[in-house]
Homo-oligomer: A and B are copies of this chain.
Amino acid sequence: MKRPTSQDVAKLAGVSRAVVSAVLNRTPGIRVSPDRRQAVLDAIAQLGYRVDAQARGMRTGRSRTIAAYGNLDNPMFLQVLQGAQQSCMQAGYQLLLYGKNGQPQEQEELLALYQERRIDGLLTKDTTGFADEAFAALVQQAGLPFISVEGYPDEVNVLSILMDYGESIRMALDYIWQRTGGYPVYIAAYHGKPGEPRWGDRHRLAAYEAWMGERGESPRIFRLSLDEPEALTELMAGLPQPSSVLCNWFAASALVYRAAAGLGLAVGRDLYVMSADNTAQANRYMVPSLSSIEVPYAQMGAAAAERVIRLAEGREPSDAPPKIWIPPRLAPGESV
């Protein structure tokens, strides 16, 4: 009892293999009468026939598979995958997972996947503002349909799915103001040494300054090294009660909670806290639960996959804009 082939189906249905193929792919140029068509479908069902994807792929040159590349340590990547998978399934594509390990050869291996005809397109989940022009050039040269989630915000030659970080800050500020009537301190946390803030943080900062400026308030920005969280306690000890703080990042909010506990301040009463993202998906487990802005990664992944597939199939209009913007989402908690 071996695998049935299109040959077997053709014989059982009393037609040629070409008709079987035509029925399955509605091939233009080959018309099939309804009854013959039905005979083919019956034969397929009876035998449990399945097209050999490899044989089809070899003939057509496409694999109907795209790869998703990202950091498997980051839980947000899972959301991207979820969205991408959704889009793939709707389009009849498969999703190949390729985890980032930080090895330099990985980029070549991604290209190799394409050259081996294992994938038709590539989607990467990059860190905010990431850009690797050398890689982008290689990809373009190879002709690999490519789209980045959160990367290459300023490279017009690379297609990206982006979130509007400025809007996320305005959304948070409006929410805090509506709930408390106060103007928050902004905490910009960073890892390691203070450097030039990255793309996302630049836009967040600018939005904060503009929002405060429009209301005649002077911005109060506190730069916090995640490696020296003690500084936070000093800052917070000097704030009147109640005050509100808006953190650029979940990790900073966690430190604020910790410092508040040390000072005997009750979050949600003596101190309002909001996070401009939900990187760790831990917001709702915080006590009290942390209000935040969410980056809609699933939606971004879905949009990315959809677009890569269009690209791979040559259905993307060449004048399509390189960047697609997805709006942030407000996730209220108990901390504001």
Residues of A within 8 A of B (CB): 3, 48, 50-55, 57-58, 63, 65, 68, 72-73, 75, 77-79, 81-82, 85-86, 94-99, 112-113, 115-118, 250, 254, 257-258, 261, 280-282, 285-287
Contact = CB atoms under 8 A, between A and B. Distances in A.
A63 B65 CA distance: 13
A99 B77 contact: no
19 contacts: A50-B112, A52-B117, A53-B63, A53-B116, A53-B117, A54-B54, A54-B117, A72-B79, A72-B82, A82-B99, A86-B99, A94-B113, A250-B285, A258-B287, A261-B287, A282-B282, A285-B286, A286-B287, A287-B287
Contact of A58 (B55, B85, B86, B118): B55
A94 B96 contact: yes
Contacts of A282: 280-282, 285
Contacts of A96: 65, 94-97
Contact of A81 (B72, B85, B116): B72
Contacts of A285: 250, 254, 280, 282, 285-286
B85 A97 contact: yes
Contacts of A115: 3, 48, 50
A276 to B, nearest CB: 16
A140 to B, nearest CB: 15
Nearest to A113: B94
